[in-house]
Amino acid sequence: MKRTLQASSASSLPAPPPLRRQRDYRLLWTSRTTSITGSEVSKLAIPLTAVTLLTASPTEMGLLTAAGPLPALLFGLQAGAIVDRLVRHRPLMIACELVACAAAASVPLAWLLGLLSVPWLLVVALVIGTSAVLFKSANFSYVAGTVPPAQRVEAMAGLQACHSVASVGGPSLAGLLVQFFTAPLAVLAEAMSFLASALLLRSIRTQERNEPAPSRGMWRDVTEGLRTVLTHPTLRALLGAGVTINFFAMAYVAVYILYMVNTLSIPKSLIGVLIAMSGAGGLAGAWLTTRLTKRYGENRILLATVLFFPVEVLTAGLLNGPLWWNITAMTVVGLMTGGVVVAFSTCLGVITLRETPQELRGRVNATMTFAVQGVLALGGLTGGIVADHIGLRPMILLCAAGMALTTFWIWLSPLRPRTSGHPHPARALTPTPDPRTLTRHLVSTKRHLWP
């Protein structure tokens, strides 16, 4: 009865304006798009710097790939507890962008001074990764507290579109910058994007009205988030799916450039174009997701999209034809995968967000960050080491088989409709919350996500 009265009262309120007409949301969206575009540039420029300029081995490439997400394992849980204690999240987000800006700017400076090395790139990746962990924890609570519940699907899809826009423009821009200014100088674009993002965030006017959660100590706060994630059956399934996807996807990312260049003989100038196809598909996926979820619901979209995750990696592993065929096939599956990743991540975000109480958002998010993004470090390291021993193509096929396991996590979970024909309820009947979205941590086969 109480829930019914609350729903009736909420329905009498005037509808909020569309997100595209809300100035502060536009600033947030532009900030994220700018920052992620710069990151997409560096995701091509830094590996090319390591491969072509520093002659990095597959193992060193694996270490470099693992360095970015490693801070999620080291600081992810603590970051959530810290965020839940804050009254304002935006100042922390701005500070994180400025620190990341300084770290990225050190790459071209070190190269000009003759100091650049693989260890230097590793340190830069660790610093930027640490800033990202804190930023993502604060950003989730900030968005959840400022976007009305009725607009969360649209908001999640819009923020996922940030990754898609960046994936379209970032790799192409990276290719041009690498060609005309060399790979180390291209990383400067990432530094400038972090700076621009900080300035855009600074321009937001909405005052935060966050109620900080009472703290019982760092360790008890952290364990509360862990307990919430591990004791909920749906939550365990989402966590298992995220860990599985990210581990094998990052193992693929670790050897992707080496495989494209050395095995498939794809020109370096076209690699960025192929990566951009995933972003183009993501834009279509963001547009379709808001419409499909209204008709079928988030659970059904999640169940459908998970079936397609291994397709692109499997296609890459089986390719053995002429150049034109390899490029055509990777373009088609790249478009499809981009849309699938956005739809999956958006629905996953909405499902978890609607179940998470405000006072646990940071800690639940941090627990997911710890596991789902932290496993990226293990995946990247494993991909490089295993490829050294069994070869690039067998490693690619192994990644495809591993990503297929994600289907079992989702389809054997409570998200699947009951056999009696009654749909699974949209909201959990227990007060135990689900974790935050995997939106920022899930990765496609060519870009580092969970966008």
Q: Minimal CA–CA distance to 299: which of 344, 341, 339?
A: 344
Could you read off the pLDDT tens digit of each residue along the chain, which spans 451 residues?
A: 444 444 444 444 566 777 777 788 888 888 888 888 887 777 777 777 787 777 777 778 778 877 777 787 787 777 777 777 777 888 899 999 999 999 999 988 988 888 888 888 888 888 888 888 888 888 877 776 667 767 766 776 777 677 666 666 666 677 677 777 777 787 888 899 899 999 999 988 877 766 666 666 677 777 777 777 787 777 788 888 888 988 999 899 888 888 888 888 888 778 777 877 777 787 788 788 878 887 888 888 889 989 998 999 999 889 888 888 988 999 899 889 888 888 888 887 777 777 666 667 677 777 777 777 768 778 888 888 888 889 889 999 999 999 999 899 989 888 887 654 444 444 433 333 333 333 333 333 344 333 3
DSSP tag of 360: G
| Residue 151: count of CB within 10 angstroms of its CB | 17
For 348-416, the DSSP string reads HHHHHHHH--GGGHHHHHHHHIIIIIHHHHHHHHHHHHHHHHH-HHHHHHHHHHHHHTHHHHHHTSTTS
Nearest to 254 by CA among 451, 58, 80, 14: 58
Q: How many CA atoms lie within 13 A of 260 on its CB side?
A: 26
Q: Are 440 and 160 in contact (CB under 8 A)?
A: no
Distance CA 11, CA 381 (A): 51
Query: Given this model, what pLDDT does residue 26 score?
Result: 85
Residue 222's φ and ψ, nearest 5 degrees, are -65, -45
The Cα–Cα gap between 129 and 53 comes to 23
Q: Which pLDDT does position 449 carry in this prediction? A: 38
Query: Are the C-beta atoms of 125 and 68 separated by less than 8 Å?
Result: yes
Count other Cβ atoms within 10 Å, centred on residue 144. Answer: 22
3-state secondary structure of 79: helix
Query: Which run of H or E residues covers position 243?
Result: helix 233-258
Comparing CA positions, the residue from 396, 61, 324, 88 lying closest to residue 212 is 88
> Who contacts 316 (Cβ-Cβ below 8 Å, separation ≥6)?
252, 259, 264, 330, 333, 396, 445
For residue 45, CA distances in Å to 30, 34, 61, 181, 197 come to 23, 17, 13, 11, 20
Q: What are the distances in angstroms from CA 403 to CA 246, 369, 409?
A: 8, 19, 11
Amino acid at 72: A
Other C-beta atoms closer than 10 Å to the C-beta of 229 total: 24
For the chain, helix, strand, coil in percent to 5 are: 80, 0, 20
Check residue 7 and give its pLDDT: 43
Query: Between 188-202 and 90-112, two packed helices, what is the crossing angle to 10 degrees?
Result: 160
Would you say 36 and 163 are in contact if contact means Cβ atoms under 8 Å apart? yes
pLDDT value of residue 97: 93
* Angle (CA) 342 346 351, round 5°: 150
Residue 230 has what pLDDT?
80
CA distance 436 to 156: 12
pLDDT of 421 reads: 42
pLDDT computed for residue 196 by the predictor: 94
State how far the Cα of 368 lies from the Cα of 360, in Å rounded to an integer. Answer: 12
Nearest-5° Cα angle at 243, 375 to 215: 75
Instruction: Answer for the pair 359, 211: CB distance below 8 angstroms, yes or no.
Output: yes
Task: Identify which of 395, 288, 270 has the alpha carbon closest to the alpha carbon of residue 331.
Answer: 270
Q: What does the DSSP 8-state code read for residue 260? A: I
